[in-house]
Amino acid sequence: MDHKSGVFLVITDDTRLLSSLAHMKPRGMSLRIWCPNKASHLQTEVMNVCEILPTRKHRDQLLEIGDILKPQFFTKWHDVQPFCVILALKDIVKHAAVRALILGQLPEAKILTIRLGDSTEQSRKYDNDRELVLTWAELLNRPVKAELRHVQSTHFVNGVRSVLDGGDKIALLLQPDPDPDGLAAALALRTLLGRNKSSTPICAFGRVTRPENLAMIKLLDLDVHTIKPEDLGQFDRVALIDTQPSHLGIELPRIDAVIDHHPERHTFSAAYKDVRPYYGATSTIMTEYLNAAAIPIGQRLATALLYGIKADTLVLNREVIDADLDAFVSLYPKINYNILRRIEKPELPMKFAPILAGALKSMVLQDGVLVSFLGTVEREDLIPQIADFLLQFEDADWVVSAGVYEEQLVMSVRNVGYVKSAGEVVKRIITEQALGLGGGHRTMAKAIIPIAEWKQKFHSTSATSIRSTLLELFCAEAV
């Protein structure tokens, strides 16, 4: 099923508005701009606006030349979904005639009407969930991009439901040691599908270990089932949330849907696929889904989604776009503030103190790269917590916190954001050394290497050797 086709048609005789809209790049949809079929001052102005495109070919693909007062102009898009029209004509009678043609000829089309000039009537209203009316004033406060995302999300909601609704039992599969973004997004998808935790459980191939994530599960009453790959055969559908097949490091018996915001490292196929690496969090995507489906977001779900966005964007300080900000603002009034504070500030066990002391004592700093090796740890989540703490030190542009957990060398990598991408650096090191798995975002990444492979490659697993080797590798790639 193709969920990435569609047309966004702009019909306006106001070239100021057109100049702004011509820059839009609707995701998964083709932008079209109406141009009169008869030579006129308006035709010339429309063509001049479209000259902003780099080549004549692109400009010609953008233009839709024809008579908008004839049904034939619209009937050619009968089978296009989604289809959205921005309609803004100065002539009220002509505007009404074109609107009537759209409603009649394209029964599934969405219409975004922009009232030109000043208007004293209510600025925004829906007509049978098909039409949104904005004044110029509201257009300035509510960018067209937000409406475009709403239209697209409606189409995506229909797509994911059509794929997953056919299964009686659905697995919502997260990455091992699930993080807040994945947990919140899975809860949101279950809500979107109108299912319960027995028919649509949240699953992972590993346990949740970090204190704040455990606190989130407890305070929001979430159940996460630890399963094995072969257990997926018990489910009618499998949906990967906030992760992708390549992130799991194993071959999955089936994949029906994938919703994620991480970069796609390896191509894969699924009946439904929505991967948006430019989004800061999968929770943002799911918030858009719920809003598009007009599903009320209760306090518990709002708290989970907002915390998911905060956690994956470092409180909106890392790799965010306007969609993340819009989602955050829409969720904030609905959350339980007391629960959020308790999730964000969980108690640390006393065993964390000597590990932190050892990390501070053994860390080394060279050319802006700070490396700390923790030795063997009882809990994997202590490694990223140390990394987050060490990044606060002066002159540390990069932090590599490493420890041995269950016979694997686990590395958490952090950087200050204005340097090379942490995810790309880690992937290059892993690829060049032919060791383990690794990747991540611009400012944070993770790598997992079997300790036996490390010893075979570098001949030693002593603390001094691991620390010096990591320092050498990251100074060569990151600096």
Give SS3 for 68. Answer: coil
| Beta strands 7-12 and 83-88, pairing class | parallel
Give SS3 for 259. Answer: strand
pLDDT reported for residue 3: 44
Overall fold of domain 159-344: inorganic pyrophosphatase (n-terminal core) (3.90.1640)
H/E element, 7: strand 7-12
Question: What six digits make up the tokens of 42?
Answer: 């308006």
- Which pTM does this prediction carry? 0.63
| Beta strands 398-405 and 408-415, pairing class | antiparallel
| Residue 341 backbone phi and psi in degrees, to 5 | -65, -40
Q: Judge whether 373 and 466 are in contact, CB under 8 Å.
A: yes
Quick one: CA torsion of 85, 87, 93, 96, rounded to 10 degrees?
A: 40
pLDDT reported for residue 53: 53
Helix 180-193 and helix 144-164, axial crossing angle in degrees, nearest 10: 70
Based on the number of CB atoms within 10 Å of its own CB, is 395 exposed (0-12), middle (13-18) or buried (19 or more)?
exposed
pLDDT reported for residue 2: 42
User: Could you tell me which of 58, 114, 259 has the C-alpha nearest to residue 173?
Assistant: 259
pLDDT reported for residue 39: 85
List the pLDDT tens digit at each of the 479 positions of the chain.
344 468 889 999 988 778 777 767 676 678 899 999 988 888 888 888 777 555 445 556 788 999 999 999 999 888 887 788 989 998 889 999 999 999 899 888 888 888 765 545 544 555 556 777 777 666 655 566 677 777 778 888 988 999 999 889 999 999 988 999 999 999 999 999 999 999 999 999 988 877 788 889 999 999 999 999 999 999 999 999 999 998 887 888 889 999 999 888 788 889 999 999 889 999 999 999 999 888 999 999 999 999 999 988 876 766 678 888 889 989 999 999 999 988 887 666 777 788 889 889 889 999 999 999 999 988 787 898 899 889 989 999 999 999 999 999 999 999 988 888 898 999 999 999 998 988 887 888 999 999 999 999 999 999 999 999 999 999 999 98
Q: Does domain 7-142 have CATH number 3.40.50.2000?
A: no
The DSSP call for residue 348 is P
Q: What residue segments make up the domains of the chain, in order of their start?
A: 7-142, 159-344, 352-478
Q: Count CB neighbours of 356 within 10 A.
A: 17
CATH node for 352-478: 3.10.310.30
pLDDT reported for residue 473: 95
Helix 144-164 and helix 282-292, axial crossing angle in degrees, nearest 10: 90
